Structure 1
Amino acid sequence: MKKVLITGSNGLLGQKLVSLLLEEGKFEIIATARGENRLPVAKGYTYQSMDITNQENVDEVMDKFKPDVLIHTAAMTNVDQCEAEKEACWLLNVTATEYLVNACERNSTFLCHLSTDFIFDGSAGPYDELAAANPISFYGWSKLAAEHLITSSSLKWSIARTVLVYGIAHDMSRSNIILWVKKSLEDSKTINVVNDQWRTPTLAEDLAKGCALIAEKEAEGVFNISGKDLLNPYQMAHMTADFFNLDKSYIKEATAATFSQPAKRPPKTGFNIDKAVNELGYNPLSFEEGIAFLAKQIA
């Protein structure tokens, strides 16, 4: 049985990946994250604490397990935090990736690396895999630099780019647009929601499926793994209110200029996912189906 090692297993995508791969039973799983194991399931995999910003630690863990496949989900993804803490962002998103690339080269490990729509400036979305990158935030630059490390390595690799991931972590440690809108409207709170930023929102379970398909096939190259609906947050808020039968009069339209945020956001990204659909058999839920999926989990 092939061995897969996952970085960032305590994160939202990491959690979904571990439970999906356990369910499929096709891999021996090594889950890694910094510190304690926070996964909801305790059996069926090996947990190993690993600090990806520590080269010795990375080498030690990778040389011990010699995985066939590495799925690298760990990153600093808070866009404004990346803008404010550039050194920490670079260490986690670029330097750490370099340590992992080197360890993968040494152990002939296939690397599936998670990337983002924020490598684009948002002037010409939705994007396909061949579109020219032009980041407008430090986070975007860090993720593009990590992509370059991988594409210029001697590895067998794939890059899974994704967009606006939403889902429910088992410990409810993070919110998302659906939970935020639902709670605000239930509390009769007025919310200002942006209508001039376009994305293809991605259910975390769908992203995990895309990564699993890449890992299984060791499919090389860049793949867009996102949802299929191009929407702005104002539309997402309305769809959420409709689903839960909540009062939409509390939802007010706003533009990105209304909010002062340290990092610039690309106005229109979103992905064309034809390649992943045709080559991997990837088939994500619609945003409406995604809301229903989350509603079941909440219940």
Structure 2
Amino acid sequence: MNILILGDSGFVGNVVNKTISKDNEFSLNYIDNFRVGEIDYRSVIEEKIEQNNIEVIVNCIAMANVDLCEENKEQCFQVNVDFVRVLADICKDKNIRLIHISSNAVYGGADYPYSENSIKKPVNYYGECKMMADDYIEKVLVDYAIVRPITVYGPKNKNERHNPVTFYIEKLMKGENINLVDDNYVNMLHVDDLALCLNKILKEKLKGSFNLSGDISECRYDLGYRICSVCGFPHNLIKKVSGSEFKTKAKRPYNTSFDNTKMKKTLKIKPKNLDNSILEIYKKMKNEKNN
């Protein structure tokens, strides 16, 4: 299967790349060296398709900083909507399967947990744009998968950016205090579970939308408290604060936790145990610090 990955340098893109590259069934091609709007990306993509007989495109390109999207709506729309529409049109014209990485930001946060059939009601501009892109894909394509991974956590390599778990553990290992909000609930997804889901969707050519998450829905304060309990850090290092104390350009939804029934029944993937995963990550980070 000849696959073209768009945007493999981000966190999710890295997961996609590592997942697919391990499988001999997949022949991988990449485009990650252009910025949407700076070149004729349609020609670049079409040339890559023709040169490599591409059968599947995996799109990981996104402008995902929600505050920046609120400040620069034109660029957000260009990357998160216009680009995806062009991509969907290319896939339709050339009979190529599209796997598009979307977001839990398409949901409003009041009617949780969200299944694939839940109504989209985004509360910020980033979410609006992701919703418009999803809707267009569903309208023009038949052979597609929209993958919505919720907040992803897991072990990180030296040069990779932090996720909530690794960030909090690093702070706590240094004995630093952390202020954590008591809203913005999600049921985080382990990076290994995301990899398993993507592999299954690719190999079995599954279609439709897939909301991917773990089983435990928590706010950031609850997560921090859990990490202290599991790893043995003093609980007084974390302080509960209201999300209203953090002034942000973009509004955050209260709770976008997913109903992951489809993930379990269709993909047959059970989320990893959160406590065990946190302990594994802590042991890895502690070992790296001591060596």
- TM-score (structure 2 length as normaliser): 0.90
Please say if 1:151 is aligned against 2:138: yes
1:154 counterpart letter in structure 2: L
2:272 counterpart letter in structure 1: L
Q: Is the contact between residue 159 and residue 223 of structure 1 (CA under 8 Å) also seen in structure 2?
A: yes
2:224 counterpart letter in structure 1: A
Say what the alpha-carbon RMSD is for the aligned residues: 1.8
Question: What do residues 154-210 of structure 1 show as CA deviations (whole Å, max 9, x unaligned)?
Answer: 341111112112245545341221122122222322211011221011222322221
Q: Is the contact between residue 229 and residue 286 of structure 1 (CA under 8 Å) also seen in structure 2?
A: no
1:5 counterpart letter in structure 2: L
Q: 1:207 aligns with which of 194, 210, 222?
A: 194
Distance 2:97 2:31 in 1: 17
Change (3 A) 1:195 1:297: same
Q: Is the contact between residue 156 and residue 166 of structure 2 (CA under 8 Å) also seen in structure 1?
A: no
Match of 1:232 in 2: 219
Distance 1:222 1:240 in 2: 32
Please say if 1:129 is aligned against 2:128: no
Count of residue pairs the alignment pairs up: 283
Matches within 5 A, 1:1-299: 2-34=1-33, 51=35, 53=37, 54-295=41-282, 297-298=284-285, 299=287
| CA apart distance, 1:125 | 0.8
Distance 1:24 1:200 in 2: 29
Q: Is the contact between residue 169 and residue 282 of structure 2 (CA under 8 Å) also seen in structure 1?
A: no
Distance 1:154 1:13 in 2: 23
Match of 1:45 in 2: none
Distance 1:296 1:65 in 2: 42
Q: Is the contact between residue 231 and residue 279 of structure 2 (CA under 8 Å) also seen in structure 1?
A: no
Distance 2:176 2:183 in 1: 22
Q: Secondary structure at the match of 1:252?
A: strand
Question: What do residues 25-74 of structure 1 show as CA deviations (whole Å, max 9, x unaligned)?
Answer: 2211223312xxxxxxxxxxxxxxx5554222222223322322222112
Q: Secondary structure at the match of 2:266?
A: helix
Identity of aligned residues (%): 25
| CA apart distance, 1:214 | 0.9
Distance 2:156 2:30 in 1: 16
Q: Is the contact between residue 210 and residue 282 of structure 1 (CA under 8 Å) also seen in structure 2?
A: yes
Distance 1:123 1:7 in 2: 33
| CA apart distance, 1:122 | 0.3
- TM-score (structure 1 length as normaliser): 0.88
Q: Which runs of 5+ in 1 are unaligned?
A: 35-49
